[in-house]
């Protein structure tokens, strides 16, 4: 992978203007991308972050490509105005259908969870039989299959849309009989293909890890794109000399489009710590 992923080549003047002390911009359709923020906070404790969650318009996973592309552009432009040095598309659905759009408009490098997840899936798989689960839009886009086949054409993929997982996670039913039954049903056709790794291709699914591991069994490695994303971010910042040289407490800001209180309550579950500096953006 090049310094600027997926064919993105900013002019020298653009990269000169990137400030290592600037924040990282992370965005998602709602609260789920905080799983990526959590991994980033742990891996890169001196990097400031501006997070955008489109809580007024979530869920994206059942919307059209056109609508998602429009929303994604709006959010990327908002974060670029905050002078972020790097944009991270934490939402699998946005990454699946609008990653190129963001790369085309962004003067800063762009990373997305699908690229990160594809690389980790291949690293985790011995048999090259890989399962992918995600929202209907992500699965229908075939983005994971394309990303994995671009690296390993021989890989055999089995994909499954799991639309009920997002509401179950938001409800906090992380270890609930209803969620277990739902997971058994969704994973049945995937497990029948003898996959040895399963990509959790949605921001919400890392919270279901223990339950999904139980259902999938010990022979299936669960690939969490949040961890993969944090590793890829660390490597890219270092490569581009964009790591923050200061050893000061970082600043975190959270921008949402609706109901900040609910964002805060559910967000703390995703983040695993308390959350402040939540601002409402009125569009
Ligand atoms: N953030 C979305 C994803 O990762 C899940 C929630 C939604 O459907 O908007 O695909």
Paired sense of beta strands 49-53 and 110-112, if any = unpaired
pLDDT for the residue 101? 97
Å from CA of 254 to ligand 1 middle = 17
Give the residue ranges of the chain where pLDDT is below 50. Answer: 1-3, 6-7, 9-13
Whichever domain contains 135, its CATH number is 3.40.50.1860
Same domain for 122 and 213, yes or no, is yes
Å from CA of 250 to ligand 1 middle = 27
Å from CA of 141 to ligand 1 middle = 14
Number of domains present in the structure of the chain: 2
Per-residue pLDDT tens digits for 193-247:
999 999 999 999 999 999 999 999 999 999 998 888 999 999 999 999 999 999 9
Residue 102 domain-assigned (yes or no) = yes
Across the beta sheet with 110-112, the strand order is: 110-112, 86-89, 24-28, 49-53, 252-256, 278-280
Same domain for 231 and 108, yes or no, is yes
pLDDT for the residue 17? 58
Q: Max CA-CA distance within the chain?
A: 55
Same domain for 122 and 207, yes or no, is yes
Same domain for 215 and 276, yes or no, is no
- Closest C-alpha residue for ligand 1 atom 2: 91
> Which range marks the domain in which residue 77 is found?
24-112+227-280
Same domain for 127 and 33, yes or no, is no
Using the atom order of ligand 1, give the atom closest to the CA of residue 28.
1
pLDDT for the residue 125? 97
- Closest C-alpha residue for ligand 1 atom 6: 59
Paired sense of beta strands 252-256 and 49-53, if any = parallel
Residue 165 domain-assigned (yes or no) = yes
pLDDT for the residue 261? 87
Same domain for 258 and 171, yes or no, is no
Same domain for 119 and 102, yes or no, is no
Per-residue pLDDT tens digits for 150-170:
999 999 999 999 999 999 998
For all residues of the chain together, what is the average pLDDT?
93
Residue 19 domain-assigned (yes or no) = no
162 catalytic? Reply is no
- Out of 178, 201, 225, a domain closes at 225
Instruction: For ligand 1, pick from 112, 166, 224, 228 the residue to mutate: most ligand atoms within 8 Å of CB.
Output: 166
Q: How far apart are CA 93 and CA 62, in angstroms?
A: 9
Tell me which residue of 24, 57, 126 sits closest to 281, measured CA to CA: 57
Å from CA of 135 to ligand 1 middle = 7
Instruction: For ligand 1, pick from 27, 35, 135 the residue to mutate: most ligand atoms within 8 Å of CB.
Output: 135
Pocket residues: Cβ below 6 A from ligand 1: 28-30, 32, 58-61, 91-93, 134-135, 138, 166, 202-204
- Closest C-alpha residue for ligand 1 atom 8: 61
Å from CA of 10 to ligand 1 middle = 29
């Amino acid at each position: 992978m090049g310094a600027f992923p997926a064919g993105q080549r900013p002019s020298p003047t653009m990269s000169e203007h990137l400030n290592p002390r600037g924040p990282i911009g992370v965005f998602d359709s709602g609260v789920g991308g905080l799983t990526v923020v959590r991994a980033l906070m742990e891996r890169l404790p001196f990097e400031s972050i501006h997070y955008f969650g489109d809580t007024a318009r979530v869920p994206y996973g059942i919307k059209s490509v056109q609508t998602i592309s429009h929303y994604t552009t709006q959010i990327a432009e908002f974060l670029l105005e905050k002078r972020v040095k790097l944009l991270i598309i934490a939402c699998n659905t946005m990454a699946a259908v609008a990653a190129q759009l963001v790369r085309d408009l962004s003067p800063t490098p762009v990373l997305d969870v699908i690229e990160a997840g594809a690389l980790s899936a291949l690293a985790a798989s011995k048999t090259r039989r890989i399962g992918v689960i995600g929202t209907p839009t992500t699965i229908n886009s075939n983005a994971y299959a394309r990303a994995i086949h671009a690296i390993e054409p021989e890989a055999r993929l089995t994909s499954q849309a799991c639309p009920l997982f997002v509401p179950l996670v938001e409800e906090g039913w992380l270890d609930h009989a209803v969620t277990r039954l739902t997971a058994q049903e969704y994973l049945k056709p995937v497990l029948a293909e003898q996959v040895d790794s399963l990509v959790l291709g949605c921001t919400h699914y890392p919270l279901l890890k223990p339950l999904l591991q139980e259902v999938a069994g010990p022979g299936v490695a669960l690939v969490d794109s949040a961890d993969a994303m944090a590793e890829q971010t660390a490597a890219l910042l270092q490569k581009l000399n964009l790591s923050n040289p200061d050893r000061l407490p970082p600043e975190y800001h959270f921008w949402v489009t609706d109901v900040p209180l609910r964002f805060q309550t559910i967000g703390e579950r995703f983040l695993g710590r308390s959350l402040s500096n939540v601002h409402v953006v009125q569009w």
